[in-house]
Amino acid sequence: APSVVFNVKRQVSQLRPSYDFIIAGGGTTGLTVADRLTQAFPKKTVLVVEYGEVEYAPGIFDPPLAVWGGIGASASYFIVQSQPIPDVKNASAFVLAGKVVGGSSAINGQFFDRPSRYDLDSWSSCSGRGRPGQSQWGWDDVYPFFKKSVNFTAPLAAVAQKYNFTWDSSVYGPGPIYSSFPPFLWADHHGVRDAWAEMGIPPRRECAGGDKDALCWIPISQDPVTARRSHAGIGHYTAVNASRPNYDLLVKHQVVRVVYPKGPQRGPPLVEIRSLADSTLRNLTAKAEVVIAAGAFHTPAILQRSGFGKKSILKDAGIDVVVDLPGVGSNFQDHSGSGVSWNYSKPGDWYPLPSAMADPAFLADAVAGFNEIPARGPYTLANSNSAIFVPLRNITTTSQTIIERIRSMIADGSAASYLPADYRSDASMVAGYNEQLSKIADLLSNPHAPSIESTFATGTSLRAVNLHPLSRGTVRLNLTDKLQVPVVQYGTGSNPVDFDIYAAHVKYLQRVTKTTALKQFGAAEVTPGPAVQTDAQLIEYIKSSMVLSFMHPCCTAAMLPRDKGGVVDADLRVHGAAGLRVADMSVLPYLPSSHLSSVAYAVGEKAADILVKTWR
């Protein structure tokens, strides 16, 4: 927990008359940028404006066993309930987003993997590679920033031996965010790992070095000694702020919009903020640049309130157009997927499993262990430490058919009909979507680029994460109150090929219960179960059982050329606007084969590097 919080500002009267840089959003990416800028430029001033407070950020599995427990009770997240999703029986996705210093890194599941090299190379190939003078985003260009952002502490030898953890310290660096393995795993952990190995998924010593088509050990973002969450609010603010007189953080204020009094070519813009205490509006002045880092839901909302977006949509919201940029708030994506579950008729002699927490003596020891230095026991766990990442061709014999379906919808022009309605006749959005689908088809054809992720910590179920969904949704201002959480429309399943992929993934996971590793315990499938026989039945099952959000919203201000529906260029500058950049998970063109926090830190490091090179 951040014990001493220096210099937090709560009122505009405590601010300087102007700043060199203003960052909208003190989350994972925004604080990374602020930390690196204040470090590089001791004489330049940086202000971060954050909606939330500096709050204690418990780990996902800290006592008293509240895994995102008490949702609604906490002030530290925005709750997003999506609009009904037509292609999944009008279900609604439930998503959280950080509303606290540290942003989503302060509330996430702490699973700390990295994308595959092919994700980055794929983005780079459509984000302006080769344009003279612009930044490059291929794996080799960004890998140094993944390394720089995180430090890794190897587990004690006895722990490593007990669980067979493997790693390669050389893929990590000196960064202020901790990555480590917990000193405890539940006792059934190896059952499913053995099953995965039996399915032919090769174990890899380290999956964070760019190659992750494997059975992986995944570390968590956690202090290795105290087992407390490591997040941007600590690593990039509390740990450095006392020695940085040029680093200001204003909390409990909302960035409403940016304002260009002399037009978007004459930047940087003013930043209009609102006090959450009394709703007073104020304009702040940045002398160098403004960086929007409010996350994939709120960044497009700030841009739309500022007049950046599709003309017709802004008009409906009563907002004057500053730059006609249809990509703002479109191209919305999240990871989703269904899965399998089973029962054991001859369960192994496994102890302890989570059920042991019901035993008061075990529980008391778990709490005591968590408070020891170094911490020990079950409360040192986060979401999971094991996962598989498998390429499509190893999942299904139908991979070629799936890829051809994607390529032919691009060729015959039908892909556009799967975009959200407002964009189907917009040439730039259609061109951008076709290009994304083509790149995703390449990824799905790549024998080393994963299509599915599945993780395991304990229990009798597995989820499949569709790493590269084809469907797209939208994030729009709430017209009842434009300052509130925006209206989120998931597009889940709107591109029908996604269902072919979901189905292939579930069929693949069904193989788990057929392995000798699980058969020896009498594993018998419960869901989808014997009643589900045909593909049509399987898709019905998937529609009713899907996890609609793995809490990875992204891509709503994509780094793509303007004629491809992009919002920012490869230097993260908003198209058509001076002195304004975006740096957060909005800028991804499409989802990578990983969870997003490592990506957010790396994007923050790279964004800071770009800014430092610009202003040095």
Ligand X SMILES: Cc1cc2nc3c(=O)[nH]c(=O)nc-3n(C[C@H](O)[C@H](O)[C@H](O)COP(=O)(O)OP(=O)(O)OC[C@H]3O[C@@H](n4cnc5c(N)ncnc54)[C@H](O)[C@@H]3O)c2cc1C
Site for ligand X in 570-589 (CB under 6 A): 584-585
Nearest residue (CB) to ligand X, 114 versus 193: 114
Q: Is 111 in the site for ligand X (CB under 6 A)?
A: yes
Nearest residue (CB) to ligand X, 100 versus 415: 100
Instruction: Compute the least distance from the CB of residue 79 to ligand X, in Å.
Output: 10
Helix (H) or strand (E) holding 46, with range, is strand 46-49
* Stretch of 4-12, 134-142, 163-171, 596-604 contacting ligand X, by CB under 6 A: 596-604
Strand 323-324, strand 487-489: pairing: unpaired
CA distances to 169, 341, 543, 547 from 512, rounded to whole Å, are 31, 10, 21, 20
For the question of residue 335 being annotated catalytic, the response is no
Dihedral sign from CA coordinates of 569, 572, 573, 574? positive
Q: Is 209 in the site for ligand X (CB under 6 A)?
A: no
* Stretch of 108-116, 235-243, 349-357, 402-410 contacting ligand X, by CB under 6 A: 108-116
**Nearest Cα to 384, choosing from 500, 193, 219?**
219
**Nearest Cα to 588, choosing from 176, 140, 115?**
115
Q: Is 27 in the site for ligand X (CB under 6 A)?
A: yes
Q: Is 108 in the site for ligand X (CB under 6 A)?
A: yes
Name the active-site residue from 190, 298, 552, 575: 552
Going by C-beta distance under 8 Å and a sequence separation of 6 or more, which residues neighbour residue 157? none
Distance (Å, whole) CA 129 – CA 444: 21
Q: Is 329 in the site for ligand X (CB under 6 A)?
A: no
Nearest residue (CB) to ligand X, 129 versus 252: 252
DSSP, res 156 = P
Nearest residue (CB) to ligand X, 97 versus 610: 97
- Tell me how many residues contact ligand X (CB under 6 A): 43
Site for ligand X in 365-384 (CB under 6 A): 383
Cis peptide before 132 (omega within 30 of 0): no
Burial class of 69 by CB neighbour count within 10 A (0 to 12, 13 to 18, 19+): exposed
Q: Is 561 in the site for ligand X (CB under 6 A)?
A: no
Q: Is 518 in the site for ligand X (CB under 6 A)?
A: no
Distance (Å, whole) CA 549 – CA 558: 19
Helical residues (DSSP H) of 18-150, grouped into ranges: 28-40, 117-126, 139-149
Tell me: is residue 100 an annotated ligand-binding position: yes
Is the CB of residue 341 less than 8 Å from the CB of residue 527? yes
Nearest residue (CB) to ligand X, 27 versus 369: 27
For 156-184, letters b (16+ CB in 10 Å) and e give eeebbeebebebeeebbbebbbbbbbbbb
Tell me: is residue 48 an annotated ligand-binding position: no
* Stretch of 19-27, 177-185, 275-283, 332-340 contacting ligand X, by CB under 6 A: 19-27
Nearest residue (CB) to ligand X, 284 versus 532: 284
Strand ranges in 348-494 using DSSP code E only, listed in sequence order: 386-391, 450-456, 461-463, 465-466, 474-476, 487-489
Q: For the beta carbon of residue 249, count every other beta carbon within 10 angstroms.
A: 25
Tell me the β-bridge partners of 292: 24, 582
Using CB under 6 A, which of 22, 551, 574, 611 touches ligand X? 551
Q: Is 25 in the site for ligand X (CB under 6 A)?
A: yes
Q: Is 48 in the site for ligand X (CB under 6 A)?
A: no
Tokens matching residue 140: 């080799």
Helical residues (DSSP H) of 306-449, grouped into ranges: 311-316, 360-370, 392-395, 399-411, 427-445
Tell me: is residue 29 an annotated ligand-binding position: yes
* Stretch of 222-230, 400-408, 443-451, 597-605 contacting ligand X, by CB under 6 A: 597-605
Coil vs helix vs strand at 37: helix
Backbone angles phi, psi at 517, to 5 degrees: -55, -40
Using CB under 6 A, which of 2, 58, 59, 103 touches ligand X? 103
Is the CB of residue 538 less than 8 Å from the CB of residue 525? no
Nearest residue (CB) to ligand X, 542 versus 554: 554
Backbone angles phi, psi at 286, to 5 degrees: -105, 135
Nearest residue (CB) to ligand X, 76 versus 460: 76
* Stretch of 90-98, 339-347, 408-416, 508-516 contacting ligand X, by CB under 6 A: 90-98
Using CB under 6 A, which of 109, 183, 377, 493 touches ligand X? 109
Residue nearest to ligand X (CB): 27
Q: Is 303 in the site for ligand X (CB under 6 A)?
A: no
Instruction: Compute the least distance from the CB of residue 130 to ligand X, in Å.
Output: 27
Instruction: Compute the least distance from the CB of residue 205 to ligand X, in Å.
Output: 21
CA distances to 167, 204, 229 from 144, rounded to whole Å, are 18, 21, 24
Q: Is 333 in the site for ligand X (CB under 6 A)?
A: no
Instruction: Compute the least distance from the CB of residue 553 to ligand X, in Å.
Output: 7
Tell me: is residue 255 an annotated ligand-binding position: yes
Is the CB of residue 69 less than 8 Å from the CB of residue 43? no
Written as one letter, the residue type at 301 is: A
Residue with tokens 């140094």: 144
Name the active-site residue from 236, 253, 335, 595: 595
Q: Is 565 in the site for ligand X (CB under 6 A)?
A: no
Site for ligand X in 247-286 (CB under 6 A): 254-255
Using CB under 6 A, which of 9, 21, 26, 118 touches ligand X? 26
Instruction: Compute the least distance from the CB of residue 293 to ligand X, in Å.
Output: 6
State the binding site: 28-29, 100, 255
List contacts with ligand X (CB under 6 A): 24-30, 49-52, 96-100, 103-105, 107-112, 254-255, 293-296, 298, 302, 383, 551-552, 584-585, 595-598, 600
State the binding site for FAD: 28-29, 100, 255
Catalytic residues: 552, 595
